[in-house]
Amino acid sequence: MCGIVGYIGNQNSQGILVEGLKKLEYRGYDSAGIAVFTQEGLQVVKAKGRLANLESKLEEHPLAGSAGIGHTRWATHGKPSDANSHPHTDNSQKFSVVHNGIVENYLELKEELMAGGAHFTSETDTEVISHLIAREYEGDIVKAVQKAITYMRGAFALGVLTEYEPDKLVAVRQASPLIIGIGEGENFIGSDIPALLKYTRNVYILNDGEMAVLTRDAVELMTIEGNFIAREMITVDWDAVTAEKAGYEHFMLKEIHEQPRAYRDTMLGRVNAEGNKVILPELSLTEEQIKNIRNIQIVACGTAYHAGLVGRTMIESLVRIPVENDVASEYRYRSPIVSPETLVIVVSQSGETADTLAALREAQANGAHVLAITNVVGSSIAREANDVLVTLAGPEIAVASTKAYTSQLIALALFSLYLAEVRGTQTAEQVAHILAAMQALPEQVETILAQKDAIKTYAEQISDNKHLFFIGRGVDYAVATEGSLKLKEISYIHSEAYAAGELKHGTLALIEDGIPVIALATQEAVLEKTVSNIKEVKARGAEVLAITHEEHVTDLLKSVDQAFVIPKTLPLLTPTLSVVTLQLLAYYTSLALGHDVDKPRNLAKSVTVE
Ligand code: F6R
């Protein structure tokens, strides 16, 4: 899970490569490097650690030349170190490679190459690729790359340069994302759109098993077998500003504030003019198929999985179809029971999560129709699913997902209503009622954002705790799981989310004086029960914060220490509001502790390995 950039043109490439890498740091950031054709030949500079380390090295040893490749790494094979950073070269130093993904059979290949005289300088799987290409080179870099990849198993996106053909940059995509940017007298490669946005909006998205040969004035696309292909160029309408911090201290805070817009955009064009019907023309699912659905499985990882938990309640209560939630990494190995009447919904912000993609393939292999809910058009998951419902959250840069999660909730609500319409489980009036409540959500989010100072003060109070609990019932419990993950991943405080009624079956033993418990208490139907559970922890010394509606605050304050209010909406939609309080809480706790909010330790934005 790394970031690749490449440039061939008439400008000095160093700045362009470093700029592109900055935009890709969310894909990995334990080391970085670039290779550039200079007057002295192909030269490489790389450095362990954040990109700033590479920049300092480049200040001392600038690389001048108008073609190059760059890489930002998230270690899979071999620890983060200068030697393990990309680009990797062969022993002649004439070939240079950047790679994202994993070469599964690299040990086998390494042995073979070493037996042939290759000398390895890193612990990476990538280095075998540069040696392989060098071995196969007979005067044509494209053929050498094609030959080399016939030996490789696994997932890879590659950028390749050779000093023998300095006017060519070769790119390959096999199960790892790669796009080609088209400029005037210059062309680019990148793992993701933000890397290229500053320079071009015109891109080709490579499919698995395809490659591109870039020169300054042209791009040739072909299969890895060498058959030329035609592809429509896509014009990306994200502006560069959308991918920047827009004045916020961190991407995460910016993205939390972008949620009202993300809700609106995700609903845009999907509700009829009368406001009583969801229209999803992008779906190929027929009415007959929808009527025949017998069960639904929602499969995802991490935050997207948590969105699926809310989706389950939405679908079950509005459509009465049984829904199971599965963590994608478990799904493919548990022999899921799937039939042609099973609808599998995969949820993924990036659309590139390896486990989710594998689950999608498993479901399809068993005959299920797969609907993907994703934020990235053209991603692997979007391309392989039978149907795609795009969330319009815009690029999410912070590792901790916020606006993508809430946009997934909006998409799941829209889809539930769509199913309900087709199956006749909700009347047009009921649908209109829910849609009206959804249209009000963006403004309601603003009122939560306006409470950020109070949330910050509370965050500062809890930031020196070692343990913390989130509790709730129904969708409040689903939101608790997300609130807990958010806090853990960026503040490094241990927290657990518990169904409020489940604590007394063991975990209550952990409650002691002063331990913070955050109780989500928005679900009227179970409010009394939640209050009983709050009293159970209060009696054991917990400091309880409640998140609730205005009308319950006075009563709740008899049992809790503090409360935050969220605006009133329908019970099923409360997660889209209550989670915003928890996102801000995690953000300010991380900030109070001085952590790197946007790039928490040990994590990366897009998890393209199993
Ligand atoms: C946490 C977070 C992760 C992702 C998970 C799945 O804030 O972002 O838990 O949700 O890695 O990623 P996607 O949604 O890209 O499949």
Q: Is residue 510 in a domain?
A: yes
Does any ligand 1 atom lie closer than 6 A to the CB of residue 523?
A: no
Looking at the structure of the chain, the number of domains it has is 3
How far does the centroid of ligand 1 lie from the alpha carbon of residue 303, in Å? Answer: 5
Residue nearest (by alpha carbon) to ligand 1 atom 8: 401
Q: Is residue 608 in a domain?
A: no
Question: pTM for the whole thing?
Answer: 0.74
pLDDT of 608 reads: 75
To the nearest 5 percent, what fractions of the chain are helix, strand and coil?
Answer: 40, 25, 35
pLDDT of 25 reads: 79
Q: Convert the pLDDT of each residue in 385-436 to its tens digit.
A: 999 999 988 778 899 999 999 999 999 999 999 999 999 999 999 999 999 9
30-55: average pLDDT:
94
Does any ligand 1 atom lie closer than 6 A to the CB of residue 130?
A: no
Which residues face 212 on adjacent strands? 171, 221
Count Cβ atoms below 10 Å from residue 41 Cβ, excluding itself. Answer: 12
Distance CA 393, CA 379 (A): 15
Q: Is residue 605 in a domain?
A: no
What is the sign of the dihedral through the CA atoms of 91, 94, 100 and 105? negative
How far does the centroid of ligand 1 lie from the alpha carbon of residue 445, in Å? Answer: 22
pLDDT of 456 reads: 98
Does any ligand 1 atom lie closer than 6 A to the CB of residue 13?
A: no
How far does the centroid of ligand 1 lie from the alpha carbon of residue 301, in Å? Answer: 6
Q: What is the CATH number of the domain that holds 119?
A: 3.60.20.10
Q: Is residue 457 domain-shared with residue 435, that is, in the same domain?
A: no
434-458: average pLDDT:
97
347-366: average pLDDT:
96
Domain assignment of residue 208, given as a range: 3-237
Task: Please say which residue of 181, 203, 237 terminates a domain.
Answer: 237
pLDDT of 154 reads: 82
Q: Is residue 601 in a domain?
A: no
Tokens standing for 238?
Answer: 């994200």
Strands of the sheet containing 95-103, edge to edge, are 88-89, 95-103, 154-162, 169-174, 210-214, 219-223
Dihedrals φ, ψ of 211, to 5°?
-140, 170
Does any ligand 1 atom lie closer than 6 A to the CB of residue 382?
A: no
How far does the centroid of ligand 1 lie from the alpha carbon of residue 348, in Å? Answer: 7
Residue 404 alpha carbon, nearest atom of ligand 1 = 14
Does any ligand 1 atom lie closer than 6 A to the CB of residue 406?
A: no
Q: Is residue 609 in a domain?
A: no
Per-residue pLDDT for 247 more than 70? no
Q: Nearest to residue 97, comparing CAs of 46, 56, 23, 50?
A: 46
Residue in the structure block whose two tokens are 């493919």 = 332
Does any ligand 1 atom lie closer than 6 A to the CB of residue 359?
A: no
Tokens standing for 443?
Answer: 């403004």
**Residue 390, amino acid:** V
Per-residue pLDDT for 177 more than 90? no
Q: Which of the four pLDDT bands, split at 50, 70 and 90, describes residue 603?
A: confident
Residue nearest (by alpha carbon) to ligand 1 atom 10: 303
User: Are 384 and 393 within 8 A, CB to CB?
Assistant: no
pLDDT of 155 reads: 79
Mean pLDDT, rounded, of the chain: 94
558-566: average pLDDT:
96
Per-residue pLDDT for 79 more than 90? no
Which residues face 71 on adjacent strands? 4, 33
pLDDT of 27 reads: 66
Q: Is residue 126 domain-shared with residue 165, that is, in the same domain?
A: yes
Per-residue pLDDT for 610 more than 80? no
Q: Is residue 598 in a domain?
A: no
Q: Is residue 316 domain-shared with residue 412, that is, in the same domain?
A: yes
Does any ligand 1 atom lie closer than 6 A to the CB of residue 302?
A: yes
Tokens standing for 487?
Answer: 């806090």
Least confident of 14-23, 195-204, 375-384, 407-416: 375-384
Q: Is residue 438 domain-shared with residue 563, that is, in the same domain?
A: no
Give the active site residues. 2, 605
Residue 374 alpha carbon, nearest atom of ligand 1 = 14
Residues 119-156 as b/e (b if ≥16 CB within 10 A, e otherwise) read: eeebebbbbbbbbbbbbbbeeebbebbbbbbebbeebb
Least confident of 21-30, 62-71, 597-606: 21-30
Q: Which of 299, 305, 353, when mutated, tests ligand 1's pocket best, judged by the most ligand atoms within 8 Å of its CB?
A: 353
Does any ligand 1 atom lie closer than 6 A to the CB of residue 356?
A: yes
pLDDT of 142 reads: 98
Per-residue pLDDT for 330 more than 90? yes
Distance CA 469, CA 497 (A): 6
491-517: average pLDDT:
95
Q: Convert the pLDDT of each residue in 106-129 to its tens digit.
A: 999 999 999 999 999 999 999 999
User: Are 9 and 185 within 8 A, CB to CB?
Assistant: yes
Q: Render 535-593 in DSSP notation, one character per residue.
A: HHHHTTT-EEEEEE-HHHHHHHTTT-SEEEE-----GGGTHHHHHHHHHHHHHHHHHHT
pLDDT of 242 reads: 58
Q: What is the CATH number of the domain that holds 461?
A: 3.40.50.10490
Least confident of 23-27, 368-372, 488-492: 23-27
Q: Convert the pLDDT of each residue in 523-554 to its tens digit.
A: 999 999 999 999 999 999 999 999 999 999 99
How far does the centroid of ligand 1 lie from the alpha carbon of residue 401, in Å? Answer: 6
Per-residue pLDDT for 175 more than 80? no
Q: Which of the four pLDDT bands, split at 50, 70 and 90, describes residue 354?
A: very high
Q: Is residue 214 domain-shared with residue 292, that is, in the same domain?
A: no
Q: Is residue 164 domain-shared with residue 309, that is, in the same domain?
A: no
How far does the centroid of ligand 1 lie from the alpha carbon of residue 567, in Å? Answer: 27
Q: Is residue 600 in a domain?
A: no
433-456: average pLDDT:
97
Q: Is residue 182 domain-shared with residue 145, that is, in the same domain?
A: yes
Does any ligand 1 atom lie closer than 6 A to the CB of residue 582?
A: no
Helices (H), 320-402: 328-331, 354-365, 380-384
Q: Is residue 607 in a domain?
A: no
How far does the centroid of ligand 1 lie from the alpha carbon of residue 511, in Å? Answer: 30
Q: Is residue 335 domain-shared with residue 420, that is, in the same domain?
A: yes
Q: Is residue 118 domain-shared with residue 174, that is, in the same domain?
A: yes
Q: Is residue 385 domain-shared with residue 457, that is, in the same domain?
A: no
Does any ligand 1 atom lie closer than 6 A to the CB of residue 380?
A: no
Residue 607 alpha carbon, nearest atom of ligand 1 = 11
Residue nearest (by alpha carbon) to ligand 1 atom 16: 348
Does any ligand 1 atom lie closer than 6 A to the CB of residue 308?
A: no
Q: Which of 301, 346, 597, when mutated, tests ligand 1's pocket best, judged by the most ligand atoms within 8 Å of its CB?
A: 301
Residue 353 alpha carbon, nearest atom of ligand 1 = 16
Q: Convert the pLDDT of each residue in 188-246 to its tens digit.
A: 999 888 899 889 989 999 998 999 999 999 999 999 999 999 998 988 876 655 555 65
Task: Please say which residue of 217, 237, 257 terminates a domain.
Answer: 237
User: Are 48 and 81 within 8 A, CB to CB?
Assistant: yes
Distance CA 356, CA 368 (A): 15
Residue 402 alpha carbon, nearest atom of ligand 1 = 7
11: which DSSP letter? Answer: S
pLDDT of 169 reads: 98
Per-residue pLDDT for 366 more than 70? yes
Residue nearest (by alpha carbon) to ligand 1 atom 11: 302
Per-residue pLDDT for 349 more than 60? yes
pLDDT of 234 reads: 86
Q: Is residue 252 domain-shared with residue 217, that is, in the same domain?
A: no
Task: Please say which residue of 448, 482, 511 terminates a domain.
Answer: 448
Q: Is residue 418 domain-shared with residue 463, that is, in the same domain?
A: no
Q: Which of the four pLDDT bands, split at 50, 70 and 90, describes residue 86?
A: very high
Does any ligand 1 atom lie closer than 6 A to the CB of residue 407?
A: no
